[in-house]
Chains A and B, each alone.
Chain A
């Protein structure tokens, strides 16, 4: 309502306003209490019904048993009456000796019944509290009262105790009434009877449940429920989400519950004693609550007191006229701005989990550590959904520190490692690397969802002036500050002009500009996480000389890079659609993530990771492996094998120079290990021949690329590497050539490494075509011995590149020439034909 400005200068306006706010708060408080009461009573009612349902079977069974007994009694009595005369006399005497009941003739029967019920329930009630007190003083002796109260205030327990008390109270009341000659009728007695039965049978279930309280995870449920309830109340779905007193109240409630969650987690870990299941359940509950919170967080208004405040000071020079005026008049600093802490809950829960994980890893529960990391995956994905880099990174940071604080990873030079000793840590590393991957990839995928269409759709959901409509949209959380500001703009414009002047396209452009700004910073940062959390861990293991773990984390990382590259392509397409929202050019900063730069960054990471892999290839090659573990050596071999081909493609001699000698030495060493590892094969050579064959083929290609790129260094580095790392003896030459011979004769020039061979052919033909376009005389000037390989169209499968290498390298050692009489020498023959 538009009030004249003068009204605000009167004291009575502010008095009235205060009274109105106080009254509204009192009314809401009353309503809140009523709702809470109603909710509790409904729950208890439902529990009672539930118990009734659960115990009905038992009750029916009991009643039926009684009925059966009554029937037996009735028919037995009838039979007795009918055949009494014919019965032997001693039977009649025996019957007379059995005592007879006086219930039917005496009201004392009812009295006794009521007394018994009252006594039994009273005793049960007393015992129940004793058990709970014992529990609190033993299992939860060292925790604060808020946790102990959770045992007593467990809703199910509370509901049962209430029923038990009621039953006792009813019995006593009826006894009292009987004292005044008000005798209960059949209805009361039957009701009381049924009530007693349900309560008695209920004891079976609740009594068993009491001992579950020894498990701290049982208490986690009410804590998580209370926390979830407080969270729901502060979202726009809550009844008084816009009331500052209620926002504050719910914050306090949540703060207590988060503290409780920490205490319960601590109860699971006492030094070396870990309640594993309980711990996992509590962590899972914490993660579930946190995920629930993250899903609800965009629905919490940014101005809510749920987010605690902190002060942010401003310089006099950047302050507006009003702030300066107050500062001058009051001789004070510029009034600080109140900034909200949007991450308090996440930080507390994450810190709690991380601290527990630190204790766990310190006490060598590596398996539990791995399992717990896996529980974190859904949380990482949820964090990615809201592009919450801060919290996601906080988790990764703690995990990285925990992994580093694990047992000493230092390996002395020359010390050999065994898979068995490190497999648990490898599992933990794998779980950790997947956590990084899940976060990064989900982050990129989520960012790719914000197309121009999505932004328009979300914007259309907003009804200006209705805050709940703003918080029901699906924008990045950082944008809600801007949307709130736009809401103020709209309100003010309507107040001044009577209508909205600023068009929608302007606000959409403003929002998109902020969206892009946020995205640009976050995407780059998210890609850099690879360096900070994958390569950093590899560097740590590298500095400790632990080649097994270093190679393992580098290999895991190598696997993810290609997926990030794909995700970047999708993101690029999305970002291009956003350009259509920039109506007024240059009005707002239109900064987009540098996708080309990020791709290059990933390539650099790829290379850095590969260097770790190549560095330890030779040490991995001699490691004894069996099928219980992932084969790190063979994967290393495959990675370098492929990467060398990419260096040929991009003519990156420096990288080739760096990794080829390492690959050669690893392959030569690995050949012997493979022979041992695959002894169980009928024909082990069918496995082992691959390594030397690939090596010789790559070496042959190095000669061909040296020609294509006019860079003889390719061949020189190959020749030098062979000279230094493969002693030229007759046996060694025989071995190399024999492997080639196996390939050509035993496996008929095909083999399981055909895929790699095919890739090398494809790349070679691509480079050949490209170079041929630039240098037209490339084919005609080629020396005759390589001319057969330079086919622009055919795949050149007939002429083996490995044979070229054998001819050019091994057969230069003339004495060896006679040592290989059995080899097919197509190339050699071909030369013979030429000359």
Chain B
């Protein structure tokens, strides 16, 4: 829900979009067409789905302040301070805290937020907004387009909710030129948007049918011979089966359902899935940033180094299978 003072809107992931008086006060003019409003792609009622979304989108990239990730870098080559500032400003809306000026942190945050949108909505659409401040300095920012959007060849249509149109006298939809937008859809390597959203809906459906979700209102509890424990166990297994493709481990470590070996195996598989998503977002984001930089005649390129790769995970899986994995080293793959 939005914060009263600064109009901060929290998404279920904890990522924050800053928009409103604080930011706008410094800006003299902006070419933003889309309108920001609060929209909820996912209500967050189901605990397992919430956990899945969190796990899938968080920890994709290391935060620069974590001690064990000092070797991981995101930098411009060749180094260019002005370009760095431009990227930091461009991605500033993705940052939870003020990270303006810190390009690497802005990029890491952006990857996390984009992943979150992809996991909950299947696609992320942003408008490239050009701002001019009181000193006539031009800057760019990437703002998310809220609500239902329709992607056309030349334009993207943003549909506004009725309460907003009535209260503020806005039209029912807004048209934003295609070249002013950045569209990132759920990667095809993980099934693509359509298939993923179908799966996501199914997963939520299974979870919502769990008898423990409505323990006191369970219509079956009066039935003779009904076994709620067995019923719950069936749902647990159905959820585990549903997430098999992604390898999500349901945050369980050595519980009574699966061996610790299998849980770690799933964790490693899930890390692999996360890395596929991460690499995809990085490639998409890098491409769009380069396009923007090119427009303003910057020639530097974003370069990432020190990140764990899919090959690393494959190797870890093989070592895990043979039993030759060093338990302490395992931590670096899992955290």
| Contacts from A to B (Cβ < 8 Å) | 3, 5-6, 8-9, 11, 14-15, 17-18, 21, 320-322, 325-326, 329-330, 485-486, 488-489, 492-493, 495-497, 501-503, 505-507, 510, 583-587
Do A506 and B231 contact each other (CB < 8 Å), given the known contacts A6-B209, A17-B225, A501-B265? no
On whether the beta carbons of A485 and B215 are closer than 8 Å, the reply is: no
Q: How many A-B pairs fall under 8 Å by CB?
A: 94
Do A326 and B223 contact each other (CB < 8 Å), given the known contacts A6-B209, A493-B258? no
Q: How far apart are the CA atoms of A5 and B257 in the complex, in Å? A: 17
Question: Which residues on the A side are within 8 Å of B219 (C-beta)?
Answer: 11
9 A-B Cβ contacts within 8 A? A5-B237, A6-B209, A11-B223, A325-B215, A488-B256, A496-B237, A496-B244, A506-B323, A584-B323
- Which residue of B232, B257, B327 contacts A584 across the interface (Cβ within 8 Å)? B327
Cβ-based interface call for B216 (8 A): yes
On whether the beta carbons of A503 and B321 are closer than 8 Å, the reply is: yes
Q: How far apart are the CA atoms of A349 and B292 in the complex, in Å? A: 86
On whether the beta carbons of A14 and B212 are closer than 8 Å, the reply is: no
How many B residues touch the partner, as a band?
Answer: 35 or more
Chain A residue at smallest Cβ distance from B215: A329
On whether the beta carbons of B325 and A584 are closer than 8 Å, the reply is: yes
Chain B, 317-331, CB within 8 A of any chain A CB? 321, 323-328
On whether the beta carbons of B259 and A510 are closer than 8 Å, the reply is: yes
- Which residue of A326, A485, A497, A505 contacts B212 across the interface (Cβ within 8 Å)? A326
- Which residue of B212, B220, B244 contacts A322 across the interface (Cβ within 8 Å)? B212
Q: How far apart are the CA atoms of A506 and B230 in the complex, in Å? A: 27
Question: Which residues on the A side are within 8 Å of B227 (C-beta)?
Answer: 14
Do A8 and B231 contact each other (CB < 8 Å), given the known contacts A325-B212, A486-B259? yes
Chain A residue at smallest Cβ distance from B209: A9
Minimal beta-carbon separation of A646 from chain B (angstroms): 45
On whether the beta carbons of B225 and A321 are closer than 8 Å, the reply is: no
On whether the beta carbons of A492 and B225 are closer than 8 Å, the reply is: no
Chain B residue at smallest Cβ distance from A7: B234
- Which residue of A322, A330, A488, A495 contacts B241 across the interface (Cβ within 8 Å)? A495
- Binary CB contact string for chain B from 254 to 274 against chain A (1 if under 8 A, 0 otherwise): 011111111001000000000
Given contacts A14-B224, A488-B256, 17 further A-B contacts (CB under 8 A): A5-B206, A5-B209, A8-B231, A8-B234, A11-B223, A15-B224, A321-B47, A329-B216, A485-B256, A489-B257, A495-B237, A495-B241, A501-B262, A501-B265, A506-B323, A584-B323, A584-B327
- Which residue of A326, A485, A503 contacts B261 across the interface (Cβ within 8 Å)? A503
Q: How far apart are the CA atoms of A495 and B236 in the complex, in Å? A: 11
Minimal beta-carbon separation of B226 from chain A (angstroms): 5
Chain A residue at smallest Cβ distance from B237: A495
Q: How far apart are the CA atoms of A8 and B265 in the complex, in Å? A: 29
On whether the beta carbons of A11 and B220 are closer than 8 Å, the reply is: yes
Chain B, 189-235, CB within 8 A of any chain A CB? 206, 209, 212-213, 215-216, 219-220, 223-227, 230-232, 234-235
Cβ-based interface call for B238 (8 A): yes
Cβ-based interface call for B240 (8 A): yes
Question: Which residues on the B side are within 8 Å of A585 (C-beta)?
Answer: 326-327
Chain B, 95-120, CB within 8 A of any chain A CB? none
On whether the beta carbons of B259 and A18 are closer than 8 Å, the reply is: no
Q: How far apart are the CA atoms of A6 and B216 in the complex, in Å? A: 19
On whether the beta carbons of B259 and A322 are closer than 8 Å, the reply is: no
Chain B residue at smallest Cβ distance from A485: B256
Q: How far apart are the CA atoms of A320 and B224 in the complex, in Å? A: 27
Q: Which 7 A-B pairs have the closest CB atoms?
A: A18-B225, A583-B323, A5-B238, A584-B323, A502-B261, A489-B259, A586-B327
- Which residue of A17, A330, A584 contacts B215 across the interface (Cβ within 8 Å)? A330
Minimal beta-carbon separation of A550 from chain B (angstroms): 52
Q: How far apart are the CA atoms of A534 and B315 in the complex, in Å? A: 58
On whether the beta carbons of B226 and A14 are closer than 8 Å, the reply is: yes
Minimal beta-carbon separation of B225 from chain A (angstroms): 3
Question: Which residues on the A side are within 8 Å of B234 (C-beta)?
Answer: 3, 5, 8
On whether the beta carbons of B215 and A326 are closer than 8 Å, the reply is: yes
| Most-contacted residue by chain A among B206, B244, B260, B327 (CB, 10 A) | B260
Q: How far apart are the CA atoms of A505 and B323 in the complex, in Å? A: 8
Question: Which residues on the A side are within 8 Å of B260 (C-beta)?
Answer: 587
Question: Which residues on the A side are within 8 Å of B232 (C-beta)?
Answer: 322
Minimal beta-carbon separation of B267 from chain A (angstroms): 13
- Binary CB contact string for chain B from 123 to 155 against chain A (1 if under 8 A, 0 otherwise): 000000000000000000000000000000000
On whether the beta carbons of B255 and A320 are closer than 8 Å, the reply is: yes
Minimal beta-carbon separation of B71 from chain A (angstroms): 25
Q: Is the interface of A mostly helix, strand, loop or mixed?
A: helix
Question: Which residues on the B side are within 8 Å of A11 (C-beta)?
Answer: 219-220, 223
Minimal beta-carbon separation of A464 from chain B (angstroms): 12
| Most-contacted residue by chain B among A8, A326, A330 (CB, 10 A) | A8
On whether the beta carbons of A496 and B225 are closer than 8 Å, the reply is: no
Question: Which residues on the A side are within 8 Å of B220 (C-beta)?
Answer: 9, 11, 14
Chain B residue at smallest Cβ distance from A586: B327
- Binary CB contact string for chain B from 287 to 315 against chain A (1 if under 8 A, 0 otherwise): 00000000000000000000000000000
Minimal beta-carbon separation of B229 from chain A (angstroms): 9
Minimal beta-carbon separation of A219 from chain B (angstroms): 42
On whether the beta carbons of A330 and B259 are closer than 8 Å, the reply is: no
Question: Which residues on the B side are within 8 Å of A489 (C-beta)?
Answer: 257-259, 262
Q: How far apart are the CA atoms of A510 and B225 in the complex, in Å? A: 36
Chain B residue at smallest Cβ distance from A583: B323
- Which residue of A3, A8, A17, A506 contacts B259 across the interface (Cβ within 8 Å)? A506
Q: How far apart are the CA atoms of A321 and B252 in the complex, in Å? A: 10
Q: How far apart are the CA atoms of A562 and B235 in the complex, in Å? A: 59
Q: How far apart are the CA atoms of A501 and B267 in the complex, in Å? A: 13
On whether the beta carbons of A501 and B237 are closer than 8 Å, the reply is: no
- Binary CB contact string for chain B from 36 to 65 against chain A (1 if under 8 A, 0 otherwise): 000000000001000000000000000000
Chain B residue at smallest Cβ distance from A495: B237
Question: Which residues on the B side are within 8 Å of A330 (C-beta)?
Answer: 215-216
Q: How far apart are the CA atoms of A15 and B227 in the complex, in Å? A: 11
Question: Which residues on the B side are within 8 Å of A14 (C-beta)?
Answer: 220, 223-227
| Most-contacted residue by chain A among B225, B235, B255 (CB, 10 A) | B225
Chain B residue at smallest Cβ distance from A331: B216
Minimal beta-carbon separation of A73 from chain B (angstroms): 79
Q: How far apart are the CA atoms of A329 and B213 in the complex, in Å? A: 9
On whether the beta carbons of B327 and A488 are closer than 8 Å, the reply is: no
On whether the beta carbons of A502 and B215 are closer than 8 Å, the reply is: no
Do A493 and B327 contact each other (CB < 8 Å), given the known contacts A6-B209, A326-B212? no
Q: How far apart are the CA atoms of A506 and B226 in the complex, in Å? A: 36
Chain B residue at smallest Cβ distance from A320: B255
Minimal beta-carbon separation of B36 from chain A (angstroms): 35
Question: Which residues on the B side are within 8 Å of A17 (C-beta)?
Answer: 225
Do A492 and B257 contact each other (CB < 8 Å), given the known contacts A14-B223, A18-B225? yes
On whether the beta carbons of B262 and A502 are closer than 8 Å, the reply is: yes
On whether the beta carbons of B224 and A492 are closer than 8 Å, the reply is: no
Minimal beta-carbon separation of B3 from chain A (angstroms): 28
Chain B residue at smallest Cβ distance from A500: B262
Question: Which residues on the A side are within 8 Å of B237 (C-beta)?
Answer: 5, 492, 495-496
Question: Which residues on the B side are within 8 Å of A488 (C-beta)?
Answer: 256-257
Minimal beta-carbon separation of B259 from chain A (angstroms): 4
Question: Which residues on the A side are within 8 Å of B238 (C-beta)?
Answer: 5
Chain A residue at smallest Cβ distance from B217: A329
Chain B residue at smallest Cβ distance from A6: B209
Chain A residue at smallest Cβ distance from B235: A5
Do A492 and B258 contact each other (CB < 8 Å), given the known contacts A15-B225, A321-B47, A322-B232? yes
Question: Which residues on the A side are within 8 Å of B255 (C-beta)?
Answer: 320
Question: Which residues on the B side are within 8 Å of A493 (C-beta)?
Answer: 258-259, 262
Question: Which residues on the B side are within 8 Å of A15 (C-beta)?
Answer: 223-225
Chain B residue at smallest Cβ distance from A321: B47
Chain A residue at smallest Cβ distance from B260: A587
| Most-contacted residue by chain B among A3, A492, A505 (CB, 10 A) | A492
